[in-house]
Amino acid sequence: MRHTFEEISVTSGTAQAKIAPERGALLTSFSLNNTEIFYLDGESFADIAQNVHGGIPLLFPNAGLLRGGPYHLPQHGFARKMPWQVIQQNQNTITLQLFSNEETRRNYPFDFELKLKIEVVNNKLTHSLTVKNTGNSPMPTAYGTHPYFQIPQEEKQLLTTNIGGFSPKDINWMGDFNKPFPNPGLIRMHMPRKEITLESDPAVFKFARIWHQAGKDFICIEPWTRDDFALDHPEQSIWVPPDESITLSIFINAVINK
């Protein structure tokens, strides 16, 4: 079923970001001088039955798959499928909020408050999630983000990065690709006409998962705190104590080359 979702803009100079609160607090766009940094598939965005391919989906409580351990959760969790509430906004910043409810507690039996802050300052985008445990027992998470960087299919072999072990010129881009790599912390991407950095704390975001679909004009370089199946194993999860919070942030800088 197609639906029109409101997108709220925040701006700084010639930079603009757009966020769709009702579509899982999805950051749908980040542009500089009207040049788009992210890919967005309009069909999946408008169809509430589909997961959106594009922007920066927010993966809570789990990035990736689970094998059916203690928590029966879908791939990439549930927060990206839920409507969020805007609680603060000014010209260049917006903060959104999501609380646990009866539905989330069915398969993830914890009480929480999430606050997502999006900020644009010149050519820098900050995407920062604060996870607060409002319950009485420690709460596990294996959070991740899923940025879809726009790049034409025919230019993917020209991409260069500093991610160890990832060599775009040696990949068969006519097939799909999905693999985790150690996160170097500051990821540099050089594309025709764009230079992008993606920064996160490698002590927290341990992996940079790279995913591509043949024929699609994007590449996902995804900071994940943990890899697939982490919530199946208590020792692999991040645990938030009762009445405490953690903040998990990524920072994107972009330069457009003429």
pLDDT tens column, 46-79: 999 999 999 999 999 999 999 988 999 999 999 9
Q: Which residues contact 249 (CB under 8 A, 6 or more apart)?
A: 126, 127, 128, 129, 200, 201
Neighbour-count burial of 17, counting CB atoms closer than 10 A to its CB (0-12 exposed, 13-18 middle, 19+ buried): buried
Give residue 2's pLDDT: 76
Give residue 101's pLDDT: 98
Q: Is the pLDDT of residue 5 over 80?
A: yes
How far apart, in whole angstroms, are the C-alpha atoms of residue 256 and residue 49?
A: 35
Mean pLDDT computed over 181-203: 97
Cα distances (angstroms) measured from residue 13 to each of 7, 28, 147: 19, 19, 23
Cα distances (angstroms) measured from residue 254 to each of 29, 120, 196, 229: 13, 11, 4, 32
Cα distances (angstroms) measured from residue 167 to each of 31, 107, 164, 189, 210: 27, 39, 8, 12, 11
Give residue 3's pLDDT: 82
Arch. (CATH architecture) of 8-256: Distorted Sandwich (2.70)
Residue ranges of the domains in the chain?
A: 8-256
Q: Which residues contact 203 (CB under 8 A, 6 or more apart)?
A: none
Mean pLDDT computed over 239-244: 98
pTM of structure = 0.97
pLDDT tens column, 82-112: 999 999 999 999 999 999 999 999 999 999 9
What pLDDT band is residue 80 in, cutting at 50, 70 and 90? Answer: very high
Residue 111, sorted as left (phi over 0), alpha (psi -120 to 50) or beta, turns out to be beta
pLDDT tens column, 216-231: 999 999 999 999 999 9
Length of the chain: 258
Cα distances (angstroms) measured from residue 57 to each of 54, 107, 144, 161, 217: 7, 20, 9, 22, 17
Helical (H) or strand (E) element with 59: strand 58-59
Q: Is the pLDDT of residue 10 over 80?
A: yes
